[in-house]
């Protein structure tokens, strides 16, 4: 009997980590809103992603901040409001996000979005 040779497949740990971050529900949408609209206050993010609860938005913002993808800062104007913005690491996702959008437009049907 001939022995079948199997090769073990393993993912690149960096690739796996990237998909763990980007594949988590809502993270991609938060990043997309910040790419498209620039710095946003919490309420502005919540309005642009209405299905996202306040609690989950807080969790995702903290996670993305801990990963170095977003940062927050107080805007020094008359309102002194806290805004979230993409770090350089987050801005580097622009091309990848555009490619995902292109793929989605080509392959995801309207029926699948309902």
Distance CA 61, CA 22 (A): 13
Please calculate the CA angle 20-25-27 and round it to the nearest 5 degrees.
75
Quick one: what percent of the chain has pLDDT higher than 70?
93
Inform me whether the pLDDT recorded for 67 exceeds 90.
yes
Distance CA 32, CA 70 (A): 12
Residue 89 pLDDT: 98
Query: What class, spelled out in words, does domain 23-106 have in CATH?
Result: mainly alpha
Average confidence (pLDDT) over 23-40: 97
Inform me whether the pLDDT recorded for 97 exceeds 80.
yes
């Amino acid at each position: 009997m001939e022995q079948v040779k199997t090769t073990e497949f393993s993912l690149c740990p960096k690739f796996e980590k990237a998909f763990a971050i980007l594949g988590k529900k809502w993270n991609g949408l938060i990043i997309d809103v910040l790419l498209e609209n620039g710095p946003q206050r919490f309420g502005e993010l919540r309005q642009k992603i209405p299905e996202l609860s306040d609690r989950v938005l807080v969790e995702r913002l903290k996670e993305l901040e801990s990963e170095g993808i977003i940062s927050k800062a107080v805007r020094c104007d008359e309102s002194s409001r806290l805004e979230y913005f993409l770090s350089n690491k987050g801005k580097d996702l622009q091309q990848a996000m555009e490619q995902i959008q292109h793929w989605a437009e080509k392959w995801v049907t309207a029926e699948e979005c309902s």
